[in-house]
Amino acid sequence: MRPSATLAGYILAATGAALFSTKAIFIKLAFTEEVDAALMLAWRMIFALPFYLTIGAYAWAQRIARGEAPPDKRSIWLAIGTGFVGYYLASQFDFAGLMFISAQLERLVLFTYPLFVMFISWGFYGEPLTRTGLAAAAITYLGLAIVFALDLPEGGRNTVVGTALVLGAAVSFALHQIWARRFMAPLGSALFTSIALTSASFFCILHQLVVGRGNLAASPRFLWLTAGCAIVATVLPTFLVNAGLARISSQAVSMISTLSPVVTIGLAVSILGEPFTVADAIGSSLVLAGVGLYAWGDTRRR
């Protein structure tokens, strides 16, 4: 990999991580309209779907214009499966969790996904666990425990339920990171992302049509916020991060994503007015340090 391509990968991943961090803010603002998570997720994907279809059609046409064979069915189904698990399931868990916990806690819990990447890769793909990785996990979960304990007295059962849901999202997104890296090459970044996100969009919209009995009614303010979430916090970052993954390792992307919780915390405090105490700062710093240590150690090992 040329140095220029590697630098481009870091820039793409960092920009994507920063944009991803705005998602929780859009969701929290939209929830003030007294809507549920499934409705917002459906509208988010309705707004995002035309972008994925357009970019996917363009990537397919470019592939044919270069004289390459059409993608094989196996690669297409693997992209669809990755989209179902890594975006549909992850988003359902994440959006539902944000109905119960703060944007800051949500981002910190979701940010533990690189450690799930480590444990899943060890359990299912035989990749070794390292002392650095285990130390990083201990530091991260200590920090998460501090923030969780601070929110528990006030949130009670809501804190437990919300945290469990977002942990489900972290596991789902960890599977996406593992599978995207393994399955992306035959399709290319743009086409793989388009197919995966089109799949996720279909399932999210179908979910609301079935569970919500076809109800898509919403206020204009809600629709504007959902459109912002779709474009700023969904379409742009998914392509940017996957483009980064095509140029640098998933471990490097994980390390760069330490930017995301910092941006979310700043936005949550300044826009949503969420409190941020010294204890919050200590817990958050431990989470960031743990994930950063893991990504740094794994990058050195490779």
* Tens digit of each residue's pLDDT (9 = 90 or more) over 73-98: 999 999 999 999 988 999 899 988 98
Q: Are 195 and 76 in contact (CB under 8 A)?
A: yes
Query: Cα 165 to the chain's mean position, in Å?
Result: 14
Q: Structure tokens of 224?
A: 């504007």
Largest CA distance in the chain: 62
Residue range 167-191: mean pLDDT, rounded: 86
Give tens-digit pLDDT for 107-129: 888 878 878 888 888 888 777 77
Say how many C-beta atoms besides its own lie within 10 A of residue 37's C-beta: 21
Nearest to 206 by CA among 72, 46, 65, 31: 46
Select the more confidently predicted residue: 293 or 51.
51
Look over the chain and give the mean of its residue pLDDT values, rounded to a whole number.
Answer: 83
Q: How high is the pLDDT of residue 36? A: 78
- Examine the pLDDT at 70 and tell me if it is beyond 90: no
Nearest to 260 by CA among 297, 292, 282, 231: 292
277 CB-contact burial (10 Å; exposed 0-12 / middle 13-18 / buried 19+): exposed
Q: How high is the pLDDT of residue 241? A: 81
Q: How high is the pLDDT of residue 298? A: 62
Residue range 1-15: mean pLDDT, rounded: 75
User: By percentage, how much of the chain surpasses pLDDT 90?
Assistant: 19
Say how many C-beta atoms besides its own lie within 10 A of residue 112's C-beta: 23
Q: Structure tokens of 171?
A: 């596991």
Give tens-digit pLDDT for 160-170: 899 999 999 99
- Examine the pLDDT at 2 and tell me if it is beyond 70: no
